[in-house]
Structure 1
Amino acid sequence: MHSSRYHLLGRGANAGLDRGLDRKTVIMGLDGLSLGLARSLCQRGVWKNMKELMDSGRCTGIRSELPEVSPVNWASFFTSRGPEEHGVYGFTQIDPQNYALGLTDLTCVRAQTVWQRLGQAGQTCKIINLPCTYPAPELKGMLISGFVAPSLEGAVYPKALYPILSQKGYRLEADTTLGLDRPDKLIEELHLTINSRLTALDLFWPDQAWDLFIIVFTELDRLGHFLFHAIEDEKHSLHSDCMGLMKSLDRAAGEVLSRFEDLPGSKRLMCLADHGFAGLITEVDVNALLMAEGFLNLSRPPGDELDLGGMHPSSWAFALDPGRIYIHDRERFARGRVDQVERAEVTRQVRECLQELEHQGRKVMDHVYTADEIYPGGVGTPPDILCVPGSGFDLKAKFDRREVFGHFGRTGTHSRDDVFFYDSQGADPGRVRDVLGVLLT
């Protein structure tokens, strides 16, 4: 049933297994929610529906996969595998011949998905706004892709959903460019996308002809990047607007929780985030550092932040988002200069440079891993080095910046610990990749 466009069939340790769920299962995703923020919103009375979960004693903090970005973690969630097995390592991917960068999507996933596994067991999935699922795959059930989905028509399965959702004005994503100059308008758009998720909920839920129901709300993540300071600071001019959005998110969660409560028979509810949030100290551009230290050279000015077409053959290394370092290996890249004899020494020098980086007397990196340490046997295009920043440092990998440190309109950044998780059965999976394993093993 699955299209040959995807690297999905027969992959991974789960391939061929037909074990399904033993009860109706609902999973609600809350992108960007830390356990600490959830607790604070409940204590302040902003969240009333989510407070029921918090008061249950079954909420816990889990860890993100590394790097702690949405494509990596949601792919880890829906495959029950880490990046080294599913092949998603960041927001972007590179063509090693022409150095063109493209956004990561479902075609990059190389492990079996939960909807494939349950489909083999004859079970049905309904999925709303799950990131890294574009283009929408064929499945036993219904699906609306989440981030990054460039078109609604390609984001739905079955295709008959497209005219229905289009007529209802379904919005895939808010215009996040508003976060820089019109954050008040961004908040307005986030209310609209919450409403779109509820529109899909009304469409997908009522017949209850499903075994697994997944709905993901991504609005907190969008708000956190641009208005984390306004969430925290009660005196901020947009604090009340942020709390209004939080209340809308709580009402939406309450709608899911209420419907779950009304389900007859055996059932299970899970809620999880992919990462948390922290206040931003500074953005850190890794490519700017590599250029300053002579590891990266461009033959021409880049046309935009993702333009690596001017990679000069003299380059030793470069970075892709958020802190993935690739040695410019001649066996891997068309213009590569580093041979196998030089590779270990270049890796050592680049790693040492990253480990020594400081900002105002504070080390920027908590860890700098080699591929063998963090992604042993990694499929696809794993980085040679992965940087894990300290709290508050937001790693970037632009090609049109020259300053290593700076602020560019964002006030919040992802955190990898204390990530929100709840299970009605009290499980504590530890990290994102382990969540579905609780259900399917």
Structure 2
Amino acid sequence: MKVAVLGLDCATPQLVFDQFKSDLPNLSRLMAEGIYGELESTHPPITVPAWSCMMSSRDPGELGCYGFRNRKDHSYNGYSLANALAVQEPLVWDYLQEQGLRSILLGVPQTYPPRPILGEMVTCFLTPSTQSEYTYPAALKDEIERISGGYILDVENFRTDNKQAILDQIFEMTRRRFRVAKHLIAHHPWDFFMMVEMGVDRIHHGFWKYFDREHPKYEPGNPFENAMREYYQFVDQEIGEILSLLGQDCAVMVVSDHGAKKMVGGICINEWLMKQGYLRLKEAPSKPTPFSKVEIDWDHTLAWGEGGYYGRLFLNVKGREPRGQIEPGDYEKVRDRLIADIQAIEDPAGRGIGSIAMRPEELYRATRGIPPDLIVYFGNLDWRSVGSVGYGAVHTFDNDTGPDDANHAQHGIFILQVPGRTGGHNHDDLRVYDVAPTILDLFGVSISREMQGKIIR
């Protein structure tokens, strides 16, 4: 048996399993012939590290990757990008390689820079540009450029008001990636094939407000009302062409790393910390300014935060940070107070929004590297975390990194169709950690005891 995994970054169950299902005949057929269900993502539910967690069956703490950027030391500005070099645990294709099984990987996040595998690799959106070495073997690059007509790693500047240009880019990127996928499937030997398409994520962030009638910025009759539905239909057609190439001996899995939901607004995490007395600036900026560009009064600061689809909060601890202020013996007391204060955050109308703050050591089996002191979901991910300062307010309805309509949701999708097995079943209690053991089980490869997921049967 062969196994093909078609990854759709951010594909969300309320669209695939419900709202758009009647327009997705190929995905619907896979559901009818196989099993499917909502797939619980990692904490936090974000592309990096969720795909690596999925392919290793290890959690973010075990990988030491808590997001795209991670603290590399306890300085105030020491961060590193979580690329392939950050992932030290074995991944599905490493286990398969030990059995002499060949893999083709296309666009799987956290595979740049490329490394040798038994098979071929085209790296991911973290690749700086197509001028970089982004394939293994290196000679594959010329073939990819020729077949694709110029490979596109990611949509440039997808947070912009030039919506038609972004929409055109998303469709063209997806068209070229699937063109490469079909070529590799048809012309290169493989046992395991995996691709991840980023266009689904990009169209959610760029166009969610145009279709979701519950979005606070939705406008009826807008010109992009059907853009997301048409894109999902386009992806489904491309998947149908992939399926026609796979043959009768191939198990097919369609997965996403997390889902999506409307974004109500942003909580300015550092503005909030200042108002609560946890953070002090030497001079407040007169306009929104990235946190890294303002001068912090570290001698009077207990905590600071990072922006993103979720919040990361760091404490200024004596003996740990260069100018720490919190006595180690008071660390838990300060964390407890912050958790309670975060839970009490209200919207502009004075209503609670249901924010939660989590201790990493309670989420993960291990906390390697330097984890945040707290991981925060504002409004249970209805609100994003905004790190910039200078707003003069806790709430904002404009994103500091450009227009963005959607936040990440905790559940993605899982579909599995296996030749010769009956299906049509909707499964519950599925997690990203279950994907790697299930793939290995399909090949008859034994499951590592270090994996925390179960085999989906």
**Which TM-score band (shorter chain)?**
0.7 to 0.9
Amino acid in structure 2 at the alignment position of 1:62 = L
In 1, the alpha carbon distance for the partners of 2:390 and 2:27 equals 41
Taking structure 1 as the reference length, what is the TM-score of the superposition? 0.86
Matched, 1:405 2:395: yes
Name the SS for the 2:23 alignment partner.
Answer: coil
Task: Give the aligned partner of residue 290 of structure 2.
Answer: 305
Deviation per CA, 1:64-112: give whole Å up to 9, x if none.
1111111021121121111121111112123433514343222222322
Q: CA deviation at 1:228?
A: 0.7
Task: Give the aligned partner of residue 112 of structure 1.
Answer: 90
* CA 1:241–1:367: 2 relative to 1, 3 Å: closer
Native 8 Å contact 1:134 1:154 kept in 2: no
Unmatched tracts of structure 2, length 5 or more: 214-219, 441-446, 448-457
Name the SS for the 1:205 alignment partner.
Answer: helix
Task: Give the aligned partner of residue 294 of structure 1.
Answer: 277
Matched, 1:86 2:66: no
Task: Give the aligned partner of residue 358 of structure 1.
Answer: 346
Q: How does 1:43-62 map to 2 (within 5 A)?
A: 43=21, 45-56=22-33, 58-62=35-39
Amino acid in structure 2 at the alignment position of 1:318 = W
In 1, the alpha carbon distance for the partners of 2:157 and 2:240 equals 25
In 1, the alpha carbon distance for the partners of 2:351 and 2:139 equals 54
* CA 1:283–1:99: 2 relative to 1, 3 Å: same
Amino acid in structure 1 at the alignment position of 2:143 = I
Native 8 Å contact 2:284 2:390 kept in 1: no
Deviation per CA, 1:232-281: give whole Å up to 9, x if none.
35733112333332222122222222222xx253x311111111111121
Matched, 1:206 2:186: yes
Native 8 Å contact 1:99 1:309 kept in 2: no
Native 8 Å contact 2:34 2:417 kept in 1: no
Name the SS for the 1:344 alignment partner.
Answer: helix
Task: Give the aligned partner of residue 6 of structure 1.
Answer: none
Unmatched tracts of structure 1, length 5 or more: 1-22
Q: How does 1:335-346 map to 2 (within 5 A)?
A: 335-346=323-334
> Which residue of 172, 176, 182 corresponds with 2:157?
176
Q: How does 1:225-374 map to 2 (within 5 A)?
A: 225-233=205-213, 235-260=221-246, 263-265=247-249, 267-299=250-282, 305=290, 307=292, 310-314=295-299, 315-320=301-306, 321=308, 322-359=310-347, 360-374=349-363
* CA 1:114–1:344: 2 relative to 1, 3 Å: same
* CA 1:304–1:437: 2 relative to 1, 3 Å: farther
Q: CA deviation at 1:197?
A: 0.8
In 1, the alpha carbon distance for the partners of 2:170 and 2:64 equals 30
Amino acid in structure 1 at the alignment position of 2:154 = E
Task: Give the aligned partner of residue 422 of structure 1.
Answer: 415
Name the SS for the 1:122 alignment partner.
Answer: coil
* CA 1:240–1:371: 2 relative to 1, 3 Å: closer
Q: CA deviation at 1:205?
A: 1.2
Task: Give the aligned partner of residue 8 of structure 1.
Answer: none
Task: Give the aligned partner of residue 150 of structure 1.
Answer: 128
Q: CA deviation at 1:213?
A: 0.4
Q: How does 1:60-75 map to 2 (within 5 A)?
A: 60-75=37-52
* CA 1:423–1:346: 2 relative to 1, 3 Å: same
Amino acid in structure 1 at the alignment position of 2:150 = G
Q: CA deviation at 1:182?
A: 0.6
* CA 1:365–1:155: 2 relative to 1, 3 Å: farther
Name the SS for the 1:248 alignment partner.
Answer: helix
In 2, the alpha carbon distance for the partners of 1:388 and 1:437 equals 29
* CA 1:247–1:380: 2 relative to 1, 3 Å: same
Amino acid in structure 1 at the alignment position of 2:395 = F
Native 8 Å contact 1:300 1:310 kept in 2: yes
Q: CA deviation at 1:282?
A: 1.3
Native 8 Å contact 2:357 2:374 kept in 1: yes
- Total equivalences in the alignment: 413
